């Protein structure tokens, strides 16, 4: 595939790895923020190619994983109502709630559907005016323009049977929270390339200056990731701390103005609680007041929700980059993709799922 | 969730908020909303995420990135003497 295969060339990968090895004279810990990048790193075995001087710490960039349990339980309660057709990206269906998950609601006869795009949910709402169609609007800045467009179109078309359950989160405030911890051991950041296609990277310039760390906008293919790592290590060795763009074929400093304008029309910045990280001020989106009629939390009164986090799950530490998935006592035994304790084991961007799928499971060898 | 895949725009219909297109991903063609990439023309490559093109892939910049990577490779002691 064009614009993919060129960035997987084995000989060039080896050359860039050697360049990183020559450049990194001290030990550096880099956090790749996005869960998609974590999966690429594990899938292509890049963590094993890198020299010992470069450690990759996996960040909280998995929207499914950081959606608070209270909101998952709320989604389950709404999806269980007989008049509701509940649409979601597939990842969300197996995330464990306090008692259930969305897939079990579907198994019990609930109308729960996996959609590829929020526009699919909008189409269902048009086709079935007698159903109340709810879309689980989960995601980072990358997904916000798509979800915003769906709400904007619903209003423009007067679709009164469509609403969204909003669980939108923003990357820079979470990074601010992580970097602000006294014991943070992050020397450099690989910023999430696809988030930056929308937002650009001006916000990251402020972050780099405030915390004096290099931040490199990075793509998802092996050579993209290695270029990002090389740029970050080069800056660290020179004592620099600025934003660099190593995903320039897709990202500009200002991002996508049309997409940002739509997001600003439909959403307002709000406080959000992140599963595993806790409450972070101004770290997410809520619907703007003029779109309140499309807010599923207001359309459906499901009452108070009491949540129960599984005691054994240590996903919070994994999401903060403080625990490697394979160091969790439950990893691969009492917690697997078939029987997950937490969202990081089921999401396609969860670090635990990446370690499980790409062979990092510490397996007992029968002798 | 932030997975975005590059594909080639093969058809454009509508305009403004309703600007849609067909995008070819190595032989698999899907509809995508092109409202956020008004500059895109048929034949351009775009990054598509949940049915929306979020950016046009800049061919010139892609060539420069690949040239820089080729240079690292050319200067690499392990590949010296080859080609």
What confidence tens digit (pLDDT) does each residue in A8-20 have? 999 999 999 999 9
Number of domains in chain B: 1
Tell me if A211 is assigned to some domain.
yes
Q: What is the largest CA-CA distance in chain A?
A: 67
Closest Cα partner for A219 from A244, A242, A191?
A191
Q: Rounded to whole angstroms, how far apart are CA atoms A210 and A11?
A: 38
Q: Rounded to whole angstroms, how far apart are CA atoms A265 and A263?
A: 5
Backbone φ and ψ of A188, nearest 5°: -155, 160
Radius of gyration (C-alpha) of chain A in whole angstroms: 21
Contacts of A262 in chain B (CB under 8 A): 36
Is the ipTM, as predicted for this complex, more than 0.85?
yes
- pLDDT tens track for A170-227: 999 999 999 998 888 899 999 999 999 999 999 999 999 999 999 999 999 999 999 9
Question: Coil, helix or strand for A20?
Answer: helix
Q: Check if B28 contacts A (Cβ < 8 Å).
A: no
Q: State the average pLDDT for chain A.
A: 94
Q: Check if B54 contacts A (Cβ < 8 Å).
A: yes
Q: How confident is the model at residue B79 (pLDDT cuts 50, 70, 90)?
A: low
Q: What is the CATH number of the domain that holds A20?
A: 3.40.50.11750
Side-chain-side CA neighbours of residue B67 (13 Å):
7
Written as tens digits, the pLDDT of chain A (367 aa) is 899 999 999 999 999 999 999 999 999 999 999 999 999 999 999 999 999 999 999 999 999 999 999 999 999 999 999 999 999 999 899 999 999 999 999 999 999 999 999 999 999 999 999 999 999 999 999 999 999 999 999 999 999 999 999 999 999 999 999 999 888 889 999 999 999 999 999 999 999 999 999 999 999 999 999 999 999 999 999 999 999 999 999 999 999 999 999 999 999 999 999 998 999 999 999 999 999 999 999 999 988 888 888 889 999 999 999 999 999 999 999 999 989 999 999 998 899 999 999 977 554 444 4
Contacts of B55 in chain A (CB under 8 A): 197, 250-252, 256
Q: What is the pLDDT of residue B1?
A: 66
Q: What is the pLDDT of residue A312?
A: 92
Number of domains in chain A: 1
Tell me if A140 is assigned to some domain.
no
Q: What is the pLDDT of residue A309?
A: 85
Q: Which helix (H) or strand (E) holds B35?
A: none
Domain boundaries, position A31: 5-59+179-190+202-245
Closest Cα partner for B47 from A195, A361, A166?
A195
Q: Rounded to whole angstroms, how far apart are CA atoms B1 and A118?
A: 13
Query: Of the candidates A1, A63, A194, which has its C-beta nearest B26's C-beta?
Result: A1
Q: Rounded to whole angstroms, how far apart are CA atoms A222 and A37?
A: 9
Q: Are B54 and A256 in contact (CB < 8 Å)?
A: yes
Terminal-to-terminal C-alpha distance of chain B: 41
Q: What is the pLDDT of residue A182?
A: 83
Q: Rounded to whole angstroms, how far apart are CA atoms A275 and B68?
A: 40
Nearest chain A Cα to B38, which residue? A258
pLDDT exceeds cutoff 90 at B12: yes
SS (H, E, C) A69-122: HHHHHHHHHHHCCCCEEEEECHHHHHCCCCCCCHHHHHHCCCEEEECCCHHHHH
Domain boundaries, position B35: 5-79
Query: Of the candidates A116, A139, A262, which has its C-beta nearest B51's C-beta?
Result: A116
Give the count of beta carbons closer than 10 Å to the beta carbon of residue A5.
Answer: 10
Q: What is the pLDDT of residue A362?
A: 58
Tokens for A259? 């997409």
Using DSSP bridges, classify how beta strands A132-139 and A84-88 pair: parallel, antiparallel or unpaired.
parallel
Tell me if A17 is assigned to some domain.
yes
Contacts of B17 in chain A (CB under 8 A): 149, 152-153, 156
Residue A307 neighbours by CB under 8 Å, 6+ apart: A68, A69, A70, A73, A98
Interior angle at CA A242, CA B64 and CA A236, nearest 5 = 95
Q: What is the CATH number of the domain that holds B46?
A: 2.30.30.140
Contacts of A21 in chain B (CB under 8 A): none
Nearest chain A Cα to B24, which residue? A1
Terminal-to-terminal C-alpha distance of chain A: 44
Tell me if A14 is assigned to some domain.
yes
């Amino acid at each position: 595939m064009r614009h993919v295969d060129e960035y997987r060339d084995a000989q060039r990968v080896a050359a860039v790895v050697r360049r990183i090895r020559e450049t990194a004279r001290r030990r550096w810990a880099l956090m790749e923020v996005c869960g998609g990048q974590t999966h690429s790193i594990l899938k292509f075995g890049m963590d094993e190619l890198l020299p010992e001087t470069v450690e990759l710490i996996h960040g909280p960039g998995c929207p499914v994983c950081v959606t608070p349990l209270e909101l998952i339980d709320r989604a389950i309660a709404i999806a269980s109502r007989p008049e509701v057709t509940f649409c979601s990206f597939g990842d969300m269906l197996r995330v464990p709630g306090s008692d259930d998950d969305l897939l079990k609601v579907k198994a019990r006869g609930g109308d729960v559907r996996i959609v590829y795009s929020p526009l699919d949910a909008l189409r269902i709402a048009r086709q079935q005016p007698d159903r109340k169609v709810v879309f689980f609007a989960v995601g980072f800045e990358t997904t916000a323009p798509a979800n915003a467009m769906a709400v904007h179109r619903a209003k423009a078309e007067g679709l009164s049977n469509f609403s969204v359950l909003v669980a939108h989160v923003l990357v820079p405030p979470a990074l601010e929270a992580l970097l602000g911890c006294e014991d943070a051991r992050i020397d450099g950041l690989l910023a999430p390339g696809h988030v930056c296609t929308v937002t650009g990277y001006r916000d990251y310039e402020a972050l780099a200056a405030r915390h004096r760390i290099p931040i490199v906008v990075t793509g998802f293919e092996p050579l993209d990731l290695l270029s990002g790592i090389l740029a970050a290590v080069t800056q660290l060795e020179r004592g620099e701390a600025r934003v660099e763009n190593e995903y320039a074929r897709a990202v500009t400093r200002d991002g996508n103005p049309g997409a940002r304008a739509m997001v600003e029309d439909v959403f307002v910045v709000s406080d959000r609680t992140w599963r595993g990280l806790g409450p972070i001020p101004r770290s997410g989106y809520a619907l703007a007041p003029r779109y309140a009629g499309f807010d599923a939390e207001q359309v459906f009164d499901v009452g108070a929700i009491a949540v129960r986090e599984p005691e054994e799950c240590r996903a919070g530490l994994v999401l903060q980059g403080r625990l490697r998935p394979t160091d969790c006592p439950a990893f691969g035994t009492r917690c697997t993709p078939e029987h997950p304790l937490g969202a990081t084991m089921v999401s396609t961007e969860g670090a635990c799922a990446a370690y499980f799928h790409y062979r990092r499971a510490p397996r007992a060898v029968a002798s | 969730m932030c997975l975005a895949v590059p594909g080639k725009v093969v058809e454009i219909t509508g305009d403004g908020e309703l600007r849609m297109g067909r995008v070819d991903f190595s032989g698999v063609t899907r509809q995508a909303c092109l409202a956020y990439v008004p500059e895109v023309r048929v034949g351009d490559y775009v990054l598509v995420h949940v049915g929306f093109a979020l950016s046009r892939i800049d061919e010139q910049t892609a060539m420069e990135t690949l040239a820089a990577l080729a240079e690292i490779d050319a200067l690499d002691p392990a590949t010296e003497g080859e080609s």
